[in-house]
Amino acid sequence: MFRAVKWIVDWGLKHRDLRDVTKLGVDEIQRGKGHNYMTLVYQLDDDNKRLLGVEKGREEKSLERFFDKFDEGTEGKEKRSLGIKFVCSDMWKQYLNVIKRRCLNALNILDRFHVKGHLTKAVDETRKLDVAKLKTKRKEKVLTKSKYIFLKNPENLTDKQAVKLNELLRCNLRVIRAYLMKEDFERFWKYKSPYWAGRFLHEWCVRAMRSKIEPMKKFVGTIRSHRELLLNWFKSKGMSSGIVEGFNNKVKLTVRKGYGYASNKSLQITLYHTLGKLPQPDFTHRFW
């Protein structure tokens, strides 16, 4: 069975049409424990969303391997990678380096979901600092069962969590100030103009630095170093790799259904078969 599926996938990869690919999404997934990653590249064009590449690791060479295959058979000004207009990725430096080298005509956009993830992580680290401080005063119960209150969007809170949040908002804790800054940052995504979005971002960063909350100051350093890429989100009219998150969930589900895979190669074949929208060989003539 495996050899049959592998043959079909190999045939499909050889005969798929890679013309008119203009939007890419790049992300990684972790396979099991340890630093076992795979780089995933998706096509995000409006008329065609599919898995284009699965490469072992998340180093520069991982994404370079994808572009080598993607450009295979094309040279010079005809390289397929030069036709890419938008690439949506996270802040992983190795990916940013390769995208800058290979997609010379593309606008690199930082994914909104990953930016929000970094900010949410900063809020959670602030909560941990407050819990440690409250323990020294034997008042740690104040933040008991509050972790997911700060991680969720307000509209997704349960009734009990909403009541707990209202109680916590009366407390003078660093995590409350960090949480309020996180919610205020949501205004950033509602701007239409890159200029005014940049003004808001600058003012928000100044307030966050003045808060003297170390995890928030660390987040400010991260987004300041990626400011131009972050503002590209507005130049692309709000392009998001939300579809990438959906694909990644399907990948994780595939791994669970298979109860894990013995090798990266077997997982690659499965993912191409289920998410790659590969053309299928015509076997009709074999049975006549």
Token code pair at residue 22 = 């203009």
Contact 112, 236 (CB under 8 A): no
Write the pLDDT tens digit of every residue in 3-39.
888 888 999 999 899 988 999 999 988 876 667 888 9
| CB neighbourhood size of 262 (10 A) | 8
Q: Which CATH number describes the domain made up of 2-111+240-287?
A: 3.30.420.10
Segments of the chain assigned to CATH 3.30.420.10: 2-111+240-287
Write the pLDDT tens digit of every residue in 229-286.
999 988 887 676 677 778 888 887 877 776 656 577 888 888 898 889 998 887 665 5
Categorize the per-residue pLDDT at 287 as very low, low, confident or very high, splitting at 50, 70 and 90.
very low
DSSP 132-173: HHHHHTT-GGGGTT-HHHHHS-GGG--HHHHHHHHHHTTS--
Dihedral over Cα of 225, 228, 232, 233: its sign: positive
DSSP 179-247: HHHHHHHGGGGG-S-HHHHHHHHHHHHHHHHHTT-HHHHHHHHHHHHTHHHHHHHHHTTS---HHHHHH
Write the pLDDT tens digit of every residue in 182-228.
999 999 999 999 999 999 999 999 999 999 999 999 999 999 999 99
- Whole-model pTM: value is 0.85
